[in-house]
A and B are shown apart, each in its own frame.
Chain A
Amino acid sequence: MASFLDRSRTVAGPGYSRWLIPPAALAVHLSIGQVYATSVYKSSLVETFGASLTSIGVIFSIAIVMLGLSAAVLGKWVDHGGPRKAMFTAACFWAAGFFVAAIGISTTQLWLVYLGYGVLGGIGLGIGYISPVSTLIKWFPDRPGLATGMAIMGFGGGALIASPLSNQLLRAYDSSYDGTAGSVASGSAVAQLFVTLGVIYLVAMMYGAFTIRVAPPDYAPPGWDPSTRKQSSMVTTASVSANNAVRTPQFWLLWVLLFCNVTAGIGILEQAAPMIQDFFRDGGTTAISAVAAGGFVGLLSLGNMAGRFVWSSTSDVIGRKRIYMVYLGVGAVLYVLLALVGQTATALFVLLALVILSFYGGGFATMPAYLRDLFGTFEVGAIHGRVLTAWSAAGVAGPLIVNGFLDARGTPGELVAADYRPALLTMVVLLVIGFVANLLIKPVAERFHEPSDAAAPAPAAAR
């Protein structure tokens, strides 16, 4: 069994269709994207455990922190062990997380949910998130942004699937639950949901693990001339190891820009539903109903997902540095507009938030291709894993900034647009810092490059 998972058993021949790889990657990312659909059963867990919303929110926080840590620590293992072994491991951890958490819910032991969904599931998230990235980049040397955009779009799409599916399953497992606001599913229904999701995701991720293939050495797609790849000094043909990458200023500048982009996006995502209601509150009543606010959250999810594919693919044409100038520069301008004139019209508010969230998604999806451009494909998965610690940090900083400002301005349900300005303008400052960090990125110095015989060679000839 172990040999079947080995990298050497997954190397494809020259005639293998590279379009079989994205579905394998998507199967994993669509599964682990469930982590953004936890709000469906949050109230049920609060009631089951008699715990505070904060205590339940910790489950998600642990998972995101473990995502960053496991991606950073296990990145090199993922790169060298190969995608099949990594996806198989990710599937086991992610499914085990659901099963252990289900036991925790059934026996009302919250620590088991922390251990299961938070720790075990978080490790599955980290390994699963980075496992297909370097493989896709090597299959699509001509369009790395498109390739990683496809997979990481799946992470956004995972929540779109898990949210309505979980609602339907909870209604099936608890006849008194109708899925409307105020209705809360029983703990046993949530435990059954976790077992069901664990089984579904185990099967889906195993499909990905068993169909993924590594590109043959020196692979180049038909009709693509690798010599055209180095059109810019920002795209290297050299290789930089993960250990060397973290010694370069480029790595830390990328870390800063990802942190700033994600923190700014989370600022809106975390508060989306109450935010739109508060922006259009007049004299104690809001023009936006709770149902409409839910629709706004759905629209943002679509923007987040679409941005991952559209903007990352666009980066193949205009370049990685320029696309991040758009995410961070135009994003800062849109944030200023949102803060100052967002309350003047609902359509304007929705449009601004939608584009901002598409930039948030684009920032995630373009990062692996930016890393490939600067550090080469040698250990791009491991380097990506280490950069993702910025996501973990932003996952803590974003909500802290927004909630800190809003707590100081008043009580939830009574806030108005002006109360959001300090938080939104802080996000503008962060985006400007990220913009400057991006401007400072230059090609990696030669002293960090691997000797040519130590790293995997760059594509040499089209087949």
Chain B
Amino acid sequence: MSVAREQVECLHHSLIILLCLAARGYAFRDDARNGRFRALIFTHPMTLRMSYERRFRVPFRFLLLVTLAACTREDVASRAREPAAPALPASGTPRATVTLDAEDGQWTRAAKSLSGIRYSQLAQITADNVRNLRPVWTFSTSVLRGHEEAPLVVNNTMYILTPYPNLLYALDLTKGDSAPTKWMYNPKPQSEAQGVACCDVVNRGPVFANGSIIFNTLDNHVIAVDAATGAEKWNTKVGEINNGETMTMSPLVVKNMVLVGNSGGEMGVRGWLKALDLGSGSVRWTAYSTGPDSEVLIGARFKPHYPKDRGKDLGVSTWTGAQWKIGGGTVWGWISYDPTLNLVYYGTANPGPWNPDQRPGDNKWTSSIFARDPDTGEAVWAYQMSPHDLHDYDGVNENLLIDVPWKGQTRHVLIHPDRNGYVYMMDRATGEVLSAEPFVHITTTHGVDLANGMLRYEPSKHGRVGEVVRDICPASPGGKDWQPSSFSPRTGLVYLPHQNLCQDSEGLEANYIAGTPYVGMNVVMTAGPGGNRGELTAWDPAAGRAAWKLTEDLPVWSGTLATAGDVVFYGTMDGWFKAVDARTGAKLWQYKTGSGIIGQPMTYRGPDGKQYVAIMSGVGGWAGAIVAGNLDPRDSTAALGMVAAMKDLPSKTTKGGTLYVFALP
């Protein structure tokens, strides 16, 4: 709602109240002896019988002035943080850039590069010819749940990992468009694991390294199989479903180590990141997100930029009692790596339970970003985006490592579009926040104080047990959830797929029972301002604002892909796979796939030298749970409140996993 409209509404309501009060005879009674106002009383004019000296009517004009002043007060105007209106960067202004590896035409990890930017230098498909793109072959995964994964292409073989039951297919790309299956590996995860996966039984994809395909299963196994034969090389169990742990994230391989983290922030799980030996699968180190410094791997090298993040054993002292042992901070999102600084970056998830009253304190290190030395796991810096998180604002979203012109200098930054609604731009060597600007409508906070790194909370959005708080924006999935952004050094823009949701919530007392949900919140979500539930925002990090924005009816729950052909690809939850102009956002092409798209688009060069684009279709995930899980739309709190906002999805798409591969004729 615009500020002007809010003021008009405020004035309107206040004037009605004033008129009512005037009609009823609104009086202050004056204490005759000491001359002070003693009580404010309502008195009907007919009952006013006291002498006029002992009371006086507050002049109507005075009340009117007070009302006018109240309605123009600053806090009314700043009740919500709005993103700045989109503006294309002026030509000639310096833009964000990145150092690229040589293009090999492959896709060996979910984000393609260690910097996590999902940019391909392949340029056969351009903004001019993308309208001719057509599907060339498809592949059914035999799985009906949400397909959030990215396909990989290595050595003319495509690897597809499905959601639970985590089937791994290797498809031979050298046989033309028939792409026959070379082998299939079935890890046979425990079926019971489905009952502790909070938001559909998704998987975000495998990774290739050292001749192996490495991936996580829902029941907490990290498995390496031979990329050529599909034979299992090693299989390490790293978590326990009976404690609520599952694994859904895509591992990253850095320096002969496989980095993996757990899921289960809604189940009272204690979050961790583990490094497994690439050759043997043995665990080299474990860095917990909560607990004493010795277990969080905080030591002498730990130098957070802000005083709020300094101190001993904050992972214990910012909790009450032993709550840190079940406090969340899981690591189910993205990991990036800067080889120059030798640091890995990742975010930690929400604290548990959601109900904030049950966990007084800042709850470190939940909803935070860690920078760690992968050799030892030691933390070098950390920054907590949402201390004592109130609304399930996980910090697990991707960190894009790029270089941005900032105040006359080129800064080596990480770009982190957080669930709390701000795009954080941080110096990735130190953890200093250079800017934090809203990319969605925000009512829960008033911005980030760059002097001390604090998020300024709006006190009225802090719900208590049994209290309903309305108009919480962004909703619990955040301004943006796990769906990863991409970056094009040709445009200097970051392409953010995200949602536009708000919610009402009611705190409940959560009971900790190991392996069962630990949430304590009734949530009902709705579309945010404008009524559209999704957006694609091209973010200009140099300007700290959107360059352009596309609205989508449904949440944009797919990742984005940027290419050197100046095309950006993404999918919608009703099944459209779309290409838009990377510079302007102009819609160039779209194709309707069989099911809603929540996967990660990728592109590769085939054995025939042609550029292909691939996407998994198959609705699900948190936003698509109503379809994937056959949920009942009459209960608005179903799927942690997401169903309320997605009641119409069953009429727009059906489930079923299929890979689509596109090429130019």
Question: Do A and B originate from a single complex?
Answer: no
User: Which residues from chain B sit less than 8 Å from chain A, CB to CB?
Assistant: none
